Amino acid sequence: MNDDYRITQPAPTQPRRGGLLRPALWVVLILSAATNAILSSVANPFVSSAFGAVALACAVTLIVHHYRNRP
C-alpha cells in the first residue's frame, strides 16, 4: 500500500529569485515613507501623496513577492 503523503526524497532547492529586488524595494519603501511623513506637513499635499503611493506600491510588491517565493 502506497502512502501518498510520505516524502521519500528531499525537495530540490531552487535558487533565490529576485536577489536585488527585495533590498531595493525595502530601501525605496523606507525612503518614500520618510519623505511622505516629512512632506505631509511642509509641502503640497499632492507631492506628499505621490510619495505615499510609492510607499504603498513598494509594500504591496514586497507582500506579493513574499507569498510567491515562500517555500
Spatial distance between the Cα atoms of 32 and 28, rounded to a whole number of angstroms: 6
Question: Would 1 be classed as within a structural domain?
Answer: no
pLDDT of residue 18 exceeding 70, the answer is no
pLDDT of residue 22 exceeding 90, the answer is yes
pTM for the full model? 0.72
Q: What is the pLDDT averaged over residues 9-36?
A: 83
Per-residue pLDDT, 5? 75
Q: 3-state SS of the chain: helix, strand, coil percent to 5?
A: 65, 0, 35
Provide the grid cell at 40.
505631509
pLDDT digits (tens, 9 = 90+) for 4-15: 777 666 666 666
Question: Would 28 be classed as within a structural domain?
Answer: yes
The answer to whether the Cα torsion of 50, 45, 36, 57 is positive or negative is negative
Reported as a pLDDT band with limits 50, 70 and 90, residue 64 is very high
Question: Would 29 be classed as within a structural domain?
Answer: yes
Q: What secondary structure letter does DSSP report for 5?
A: T
Q: Which domain holds residue 28?
A: 21-68
Question: Would 55 be classed as within a structural domain?
Answer: yes
